[in-house]
Chains A and B, each alone.
Chain A
Amino acid sequence: MTAFSALIGRELRMAVRNGGDVLTLLLFFVIVGAVVPFAVGPDKDLLALLAPGIVWIAAFLSMLLGLDRLFRADHEDGTLILLRGADLPFSAVVAAKVIAHWLVAAVPLIVASPILAVLLAMDMGGFWKTVLSLAVGTPALAAFGAVGAAVTVSIRRGGLIAPVLIAPLAVPVLIFGVGAISTGTGPDQSGAALLFLAAISLMAAALCPFMAALAISSGED
């Protein structure tokens, strides 16, 4: 087993055996979406109009609030320092952790998004676009989140500072993510939005592991 797949494998194994925090993130996602009708009323037309935005806000918040799990546990038990001595570049280690984090934190959201689509009276066409836009956009959220988690890993009281840092940077993901589902009353630009979203995800996936690795090693120095 290569070092890279061993890293991903271990993260997945621990997520499965630790169960709890992933379930919590998933519940948070569904609850945020489900709570909106209590706030704006159950009018189907209104909900259908807002649905893409609500689903994406729920995904956005879930990914941001869950990003602490990327590095904090490893930092606290000393694994992170040891991983710097591993037989592969540290940015590859970080990339493996980001991939594992996406598999563990984002894929459940993508799978659960139909539930929200139904609750928020989304039509069938929007349904598949939602799943697709989440699949294409959540890697960017995971990658940006990794940078936020890396920058704040040595701050003891962590808390909300990492989500607060990353939220402005992730605004384009939110804009194009929602745009990839529906672009409102004008001409349909959801295809263009999906392409922009894919471009951002690719760029983030390529650059963020390096920046996160740099942030972690700078923080020890």
Chain B
Amino acid sequence: MTIETAPKQSWWNRIAHPSQFVAWSRPLLWPLTILTAVLFLFGLWFAFFNSPEDYQMGDTVRIMYIHVPTAWLSQFVYAIMTVSALGSLVWRHPMADVSMKSAAPLGATFTALALFTGSLWGRPTWGTFWEWDGRMTSTLVLLFIYLGIVALWRAFDDQLRAARVIAVFTLVGAINIPIIKFSVDWWSTLHQPASVFRPDGPRMPGSILTPLFIMFFAFTFLFLTLHLKAMHTEVKRRRVMALERQAAQAGASA
């Protein structure tokens, strides 16, 4: 890869070069980490000490403060992956590839966390650790999609070629996800006439909303921080691979 020396390049083109992206975004890491920590501190304090118990479920409702944001994140991360996939296919922006690859395991983790906390939260109500209700089932299918994408990245030898192919698959997944939701909802109304549990109940007093919003932001910033860090790591990993290849070529022609 060549570093372009033309003086007036737009910011977007400058950060397309991986090491320039890393250099530009490195100063953001510590502020983001601190902001995330502060948000979590506030959010958890509000969640545990300053919000009411649910009249039915008691203290376990507090799991909602983790479950709802992670459930939202599982969709948000896929949206980020979809935008990155478009960036990779349409504009061939090299950082789009890196962004897509770094987001996948994070998305899988948040989705798994959402399922885990949803399962814990549902246990007192359902009596079991798992119920096939519409929302949890759609989330489970989404987890399978994420894990499939992570496996796909690992299956390719050439990561650069892999990026555009995986971008195509990500887009197909994005088109499918609404269809999956629709079909799973239809399916769950067939087999369970009454919906069993609604995590966002009809009454939402302000004291529940505040910690919920804070936790939303806390988790979102957690993702952004981790994503940025993962992108830096991926850039370094590719640099190492490129150097190894150069060493091999130099050794061969020596």
A–B direct touch in complex (beta carbons closer than 8 A): yes
List chain A positions with a Cβ less than 8 A from chain B.
Answer: 147, 150-152, 154-157, 161, 164-165, 167-169, 171-172, 175-176, 179, 183-184, 186, 189, 193, 196, 200, 207-208, 211, 214-215, 218-221
How far apart sit A1 and B176, CA to CA, in the bound complex (Å)?
36
Q: Do residues A176 and B183 form an inter-chain contact, with CB atoms below 8 A? A: yes
Q: Do residues B144 and A215 form an inter-chain contact, with CB atoms below 8 A? A: no
Q: Interface residues of B, CB < 8 Å — how many?
A: 34
* B137-151 vs A, Cβ < 8 Å mask (1 yes, 0 no): 000011011001101
Excluding A156-B157, A200-B179, 7 further A-B contacts by CB distance (< 8 Å) are A164-B144, A165-B152, A167-B144, A183-B190, A186-B193, A189-B190, A221-B164
How far apart sit A86 and B148, CA to CA, in the bound complex (Å)?
33
Q: Do residues B161 and A154 form an inter-chain contact, with CB atoms below 8 A? A: yes
Question: A residues within 8 A CB of B156?
Answer: 154-155
Q: List which B38-79 residues lie within 8 A (CB) of chain A.
A: none
Question: A residues within 8 A CB of B151?
Answer: 161, 164-165
Question: A residues within 8 A CB of B173?
Answer: 169
Q: Do residues A168 and B148 form an inter-chain contact, with CB atoms below 8 A? A: yes
How far apart sit A207 and B168, CA to CA, in the bound complex (Å)?
12
Q: List which B182-205 residues lie within 8 A (CB) of chain A.
A: 182-184, 186-187, 190-191, 193
Q: Using known A-B contacts A161-B152, A168-B145, determine if residue A175 contacts B169 with beta carbons closer than 8 Å.
A: no
Does B208 interact with chain A (Cβ within 8 Å)?
no
Question: A residues within 8 A CB of B141?
Answer: 168, 171
Question: A residues within 8 A CB of B89?
Answer: 214, 218
How far apart sit A169 and B175, CA to CA, in the bound complex (Å)?
10
Q: Using known A-B contacts A169-B176, A221-B161, determine if residue A161 contacts B155 with beta carbons closer than 8 Å.
A: yes
From residue B253, how far is it (CB to closest CB) to chain A in Å?
Answer: 26
Within the complex, which residue of A150, A151, A179, A219 is in contact with B187, where a contact is CB–CB below 8 Å?
A179
Question: A residues within 8 A CB of B148?
Answer: 161, 164-165, 168
How far apart sit A72 and B179, CA to CA, in the bound complex (Å)?
29
Q: Do residues B171 and A151 form an inter-chain contact, with CB atoms below 8 A? A: no
Closest to B188 in A: A175
Q: Using known A-B contacts A151-B165, A161-B151, determine if residue A168 contacts B183 with beta carbons closer than 8 Å.
A: no
Question: B residues within 8 A CB of A200?
Answer: 179
Question: A residues within 8 A CB of B169?
Answer: 147, 151, 165, 215
How far apart sit A179 and B183, CA to CA, in the bound complex (Å)?
10
How far apart sit A105 and B250, CA to CA, in the bound complex (Å)?
49
Does B34 interact with chain A (Cβ within 8 Å)?
no
Q: Do residues A175 and B183 form an inter-chain contact, with CB atoms below 8 A? A: yes
How far apart sit A74 and B16, CA to CA, in the bound complex (Å)?
36
Q: Do residues B165 and A171 form an inter-chain contact, with CB atoms below 8 A? A: no
Closest to A176 in B: B183
How far apart sit A219 and B159, CA to CA, in the bound complex (Å)?
11
Does B167 interact with chain A (Cβ within 8 Å)?
yes
Q: Do residues B144 and A151 form an inter-chain contact, with CB atoms below 8 A? A: no
Question: A residues within 8 A CB of B183?
Answer: 171-172, 175-176, 196
Question: B residues within 8 A CB of A147?
Answer: 168-169, 172
From residue A61, how far is it (CB to closest CB) to chain B in Å?
Answer: 15
Closest to A197 in B: B183
Q: Using known A-B contacts A161-B155, A168-B148, A189-B190, determine if residue A218 contacts B167 with beta carbons closer than 8 Å.
A: yes
Q: Using known A-B contacts A154-B161, A168-B144, determine if residue A211 contacts B187 with beta carbons closer than 8 Å.
A: no
Q: Do residues B172 and A211 form an inter-chain contact, with CB atoms below 8 A? A: yes
Q: Which of A157, A165, A207, A215 has the most CB of B within 10 A?
A: A165
